[in-house]
């Protein structure tokens, strides 16, 4: 993602990702951001390793990353995009799923790969954003989904 105006940012390391997202191990599924254009989208990476806790049971003898976690990784990349694009860093605002549409899984995601998470804005508003996401491995489509998220204050303690 490049833009003549020079608004493209990246890479963002894990510390910056963790500053944008409330997720922590074992639910943090974005390891780094390669590029981020606040007007267009984000490219992030999830390094998929055999050490992931879900591989113990999904599936013994043939470890495959669950599709729901691939969609979650795309949503987390979208969360970083929304926080950065809308200037929400440090605000405490959270990005919640509202809808997932058209999720398709094309190839299994196995340990030892770098899962490239590409997410673009479809619609960007202050409180609701729509995204289109693609997860690829070495340029091959692994999964895709469209989703909507709501930006809101965290629940009262």
Q: Which domains does the chain have, with CATH numbers?
A: 14-152 (3.10.129.10)
At residue 124, the pLDDT reads 92
Please compute, for residue 44, the number of CA atoms within 13 A of its CA located in the half-sphere on the CB side: 30
At residue 7, the pLDDT reads 66
Please compute, for residue 33, the number of CA atoms within 13 A of its CA located in the half-sphere on the CB side: 30
User: Which residues are CB-contacts of 27 (< 8 A; sequence separation ≥ 6)?
Assistant: 72
User: Which residues are CB-contacts of 119 (< 8 A; sequence separation ≥ 6)?
Assistant: 41, 42, 44, 74, 77, 78, 81, 131, 132, 133, 134
d(Cα 89, Cα 96) in Å, to the nearest integer? Answer: 16
What residues are annotated to the active site? 58
Q: In Å, how far from its chain's centre is CA 113?
A: 16
Instruction: Print pLDDT tens along the chain (157 aa).
Output: 434 444 677 799 999 999 999 999 999 999 999 999 999 999 999 999 999 999 999 999 999 999 999 999 999 999 999 999 999 888 888 999 999 999 999 999 999 999 999 999 999 998 999 999 999 999 999 999 999 999 999 888 7
At residue 50, the pLDDT reads 96
CA distances from 134 to 46, 91, 128, 137 (A): 13, 28, 20, 10
At residue 145, the pLDDT reads 98
């Amino acid at each position: 993602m490049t833009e003549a105006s020079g608004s493209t940012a990246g890479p963002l390391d894990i510390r910056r990702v963790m500053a944008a997202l409330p997720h922590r191990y074992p639910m943090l599924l974005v390891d780094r951001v390669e590029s981020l254009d606040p007007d267009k989208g984000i490219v992030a990476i999830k390094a998929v390793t055999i050490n992931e806790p879900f591989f113990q049971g999904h599936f013994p003898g043939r470890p495959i990353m669950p599709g729901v976690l691939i969609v979650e990784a795309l949503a987390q990349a979208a969360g970083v995009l929304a926080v950065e694009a809308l200037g929400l860093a440090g605000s405490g605002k959270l990005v919640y799923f509202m809808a997932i549409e058209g999720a398709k899984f094309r190839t299994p995601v196995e340990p030892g790969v770098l899962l490239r998470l590409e997410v673009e804005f479809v619609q960007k508003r202050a409180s609701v954003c729509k995204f289109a996401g693609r997860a690829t491995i070495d340029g091959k489509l692994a999964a895709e989904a469209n989703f909507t998220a709501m930006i809101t204050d965290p629940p009262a303690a």
